[in-house]
Chain A
Amino acid sequence: MRVRFWGVRGSIPVPGPSTNRYGGNTSCVEVRPHDGPPLIIDAGTGIRRLGKQLMQERFGEGRGVAHLLISHTHWDHIQGMPFFSPLYREGNRLYVYARQRDDTHLRAVFAQQTEDPYFPVPLDAMRADVDFRELVDGESFSIGAARVACTRLNHPWIAIAYRVDVDGASVVYASDTAPFTDILLEHEFIERPPEPGAPLSPEHRAKLEAMRAGLVDLCRGADLVIYDTQFTPEEYRAKPHWGHSTPDDAIAVALDAKAKTLALYHHAPARSDDEQDAILATYRRRLAGSDLELIAAYEGLEIGLGEHDT
């Protein structure tokens, strides 16, 4: 399979000279098995250019099928979807997967994005067929030859991580998540962060430990783990309730899971290319001598994994 990064930024797109190298588009990763339809993880603004490329293939003839795995529906993970060209071509088919919500059908959440007065073309007027598949935590399923599994993450309103196994290789996408140590993030709005070191309730501690164990299982032996590392440790201490991790948290999970390569991902909007280089260099020094390879995801990065592609 080939994994290609189309958007690596968190929160909001950030155009400008200081993001030219890593890229300013929000979250979108393409996972292309050797045979079968493309899998797309998240639909941030990066999906716009992916859509243009897909239109050069079967999608331009209205014969394309793609599977879109959504981690969660915060804007930076879905805001590119109305600009995904294949949706405007009759005959194309898009399957959208996301976590089941208690109160709302998934289609209704996505329909709201393109309702009046926010966007001129409502979902129902888009010409491609769009099917929604609601997932429950821990579910696994097949897409062609690919096997997909998911587990929940620690993020406001709840996000899920995905693992794709195909062509004898595996990739995990774990964004967005806070570490599993200080605060449980679910449906409640948390106005102020807890005091540093404040004890967790036994119930919350158990839930967080189970969540982390589920994620480590999902990452077990993965060839590539793509992980939300929006924060530096200092930034995390100020905003533990925002639902993002540091490279330290990502490295700990990747090492526990004996993953092969870890990609820093979901970079903070204010992070310049030079700052991101420095973060990568710092953590690479710390990992010297370890078997874990560390990279920082950038727009246009393409990685071949497994049979056919390595």
Chain B
Amino acid sequence: MKVRFWGVRGSIPAPGPDTNRYGGNTSCVSVAADGARPIVLDMGTGLMHLGVSLMATEFGRGQGRAAVLLSHAHWDHIQGFPFFPPVFVDGNAFSIYGAGRSPSMLEGILEGQMNPHFSPIYTLKNLGAHIELHAVEPGVPFDIDGVRVIAQSNPHGSTTALAFRLECGGRSLVYAPDVGYPAGGPSEAVLALYRGADLLIHDCTYTPEDRAERLDRGFSSYEDAAGAAIRAGARHLVMFHYDQDYADDDVDALRDRCRAWLDAHGGRDIALTAAAEGLELDV
């Protein structure tokens, strides 16, 4: 599997010269697996730039198919959707998998975003592409062209967010954005989801000091991320979803402190990367 980061920022896009290196776009990651349609993790503003690149492929001719795994529906995870060029092309087809008791609940959420008060699109029905919605049940695996996907629910402030595990060709990748663990850390079910992951992309919004001041927001510090990686025996931790106020130098420092924390707590063998827009990783 090839993973590419299109948006690594949390909460709200953060343009400006001091975010040029890591990037200011909100959450969006794409996964390319052999023989599978592209799998997109979340639809923050990074999605627009993924869409522009997809338009040079079969998506530009209306013959594209992709799957989207949606962790939750906070704005920073869906705000790129109305600006994703391939959804305006007749013939393209998208399967969106998200939390919700039913596909119609998910449809209502996306309709709310397109409502004419907020968007000139008015309704999902005005998108040219075919959109198919699936409600994801935590713990129940499903298949996308040979990629096995399973989700678990994580606490995220007053709500929950899904973490996804993708397995293909004996390799595994976990995407766990937006999580604020209770004092004891991840649940057993979530640890099982992370277990032995070749790549663990984990919420790393804060320093421990900032996290302590903003506990109710439901995000992780690098200690939470590194602790989860160690307990689950992940091989490679990828820091993700930085606070909008963190400049590039702050993220550098966050990574260095995370490395030191891993080394001091039995995680010396875990590789560490701070996700940046444009970064590609092979799993």
Q: Note whether A and B form a binding pair.
A: yes
Which A residues are within 8 Å of any B CB, using their own CB?
A: 9, 11-17, 19-20, 23-25, 45, 48, 73-75, 78-80, 82-83, 101, 104, 109, 112-113, 116-120, 156-157, 187, 189, 191, 242-243, 269
Residues in A whose Cβ lies below 8 Å from that of B82: 75
Cβ contact of B15, chosen from A16, A82, A119, cutoff 8 A? A16
B64-84 CB mask vs A (1 if < 8 Å, else 0) is 000000001111001110110
Which residue from chain B places its CB closest to the CB of A7 in the assembled complex? B15
Q: Give which listed residue, A11, A75, A119, contacts B74 with CB less than 8 A.
A: A119
Q: Given the complex of chains A and B, what is the CA–CA distance between A104 and B75 in angstroms?
A: 22
Q: 20 A-B pairs, CB-CB below 8 angstroms?
A: A9-B15, A12-B80, A13-B13, A14-B15, A15-B15, A15-B23, A16-B24, A17-B17, A20-B16, A24-B13, A45-B15, A48-B12, A83-B12, A112-B112, A116-B159, A118-B109, A187-B116, A189-B116, A189-B126, A191-B126
Q: Which residues of A contact B123 (CB under 8 A)?
A: 189
Q: Out of B11, B12, B117, B277, which one reaches A109, CB within 8 Å?
A: B117
Q: In the complex the two chains form, is B75's CB within 8 Å of A118's CB?
A: yes
Q: CB < 8 Å: which of B14, B24, B115, B217 contacts A120?
A: B217
Residue of B nearest to A120 (CB): B157
Q: A157-B120, A189-B116 are in contact. Are A117 and B109 (CB under 8 A)?
A: yes
Across the interface, which residues of B come within 8 angstroms of A79, CB to CB? Answer: 12, 75, 79
Q: Does B244 sit within 8 A of A, measured CB to CB?
A: yes
Q: How far is the CA of A119 from the CA of B112 in the complex (A)?
A: 13
B102 in the interface, Cβ–Cβ < 8 Å? no
Q: Once the chains are docked, how many angstroms separate the CA of A243 from the CA of B121?
A: 12
Q: Given the complex, which residues of B lie within 8 Å of A109, measured CB to CB?
A: 117
Secondary structure of the B contact surface, majority rule: loop
Query: Across the interface, do B17 and A20 meet the contact criterion of CB distance under 8 Å?
Result: yes
- With A11-B83, A118-B75, A120-B217 known to touch, is A48 a contact of B20 (CB < 8 Å)? no
Q: Contact check: which of B12, B15, B73, B217 meets A23 at CB < 8 Å?
A: B15
> Which residues of B (143-185) have their CB < 8 Å from a CB of A?
157-159
Distance from A190 Cβ to chain B, minimum over Cβ atoms (Å): 9
B19 at the interface (CB under 8 A from A): yes
Given contacts A118-B74, A269-B83, 14 further A-B contacts (CB under 8 A): A9-B15, A12-B83, A13-B12, A14-B45, A15-B15, A15-B25, A16-B277, A23-B15, A73-B118, A74-B119, A75-B79, A75-B118, A79-B75, A243-B120
Q: How far is the CB of B178 from chain A (nearest CB, A)?
A: 10
Alpha-carbon gap, A122 to B45, bound state (A):
22
In whole angstroms, how far apart are the Cα atoms of A15 and B11 in the complex? 14
Q: Is B246 an interface residue (CB 8 A)?
A: no
Residue B122 at the A interface, CB < 8 A?
A: yes
The reply to whether A269 and B120 contact each other, CB–CB distance below 8 Å, is no
Distance A269 CA – B157 CA, assembled complex (angstroms): 32
**B78 / chain A contacts, CB cutoff of 8 Å:** 118
Contact A119 B118 (CB under 8 A): no
Closest to A24 in B: B15
Task: Give 1 or 0 for each of B1-19: 1 = CB within 8 Å of chain A CB.
Answer: 0000000010111111101
By the criterion CB–CB under 8 Å, are A19 and B117 in contact? no
A157 interface neighbour in B116, B158, B159, Cβ under 8 Å:
B116
- In the complex the two chains form, what is the Cα distance from A109 to B73 in whole Å? 18
Q: Residues of B contacting A119 with CB < 8 Å?
A: 74-75
Whether the Cβ atoms of B15 and A12 lie closer than 8 Å is no
With the chains together, A80 CA to B244 CA distance in Å?
Answer: 12
Please measure, in the bound complex, the distance between the C-alpha atom of A83 and the C-alpha atom of B126, giving whole angstroms.
30
**Of the candidates A20, A73, A104, A243, which one forms a contact with B20 in the assembled complex, judged by CB atoms under 8 Å apart?**
A20
Q: Which residues of B contact A9 (CB under 8 A)?
A: 15
**With contact pairs A12-B45, A20-B20, A157-B117 given, residues A117 and B15 touching in the complex (Cβ less than 8 Å):** no
Decide if A13 touches B24 in the complex (CB within 8 Å): yes
Kindly state whether residue B199 has any CB partner on chain A within 8 Å.
Answer: no
B118 and A118 contacting across the interface, CB-CB below 8 Å: no
Cross-chain contact A15 with B19 (CB below 8 angstroms): yes
B64 to chain A, nearest CB (A): 21
Q: Is there contact, CB below 8 Å, between A74 and B120?
A: yes
**Chain A proximity of B45: nearest CB distance (Å):** 6
Residues on the B chain within 8 Å of A15, using CB:
9, 13-16, 19-20, 23-25, 45
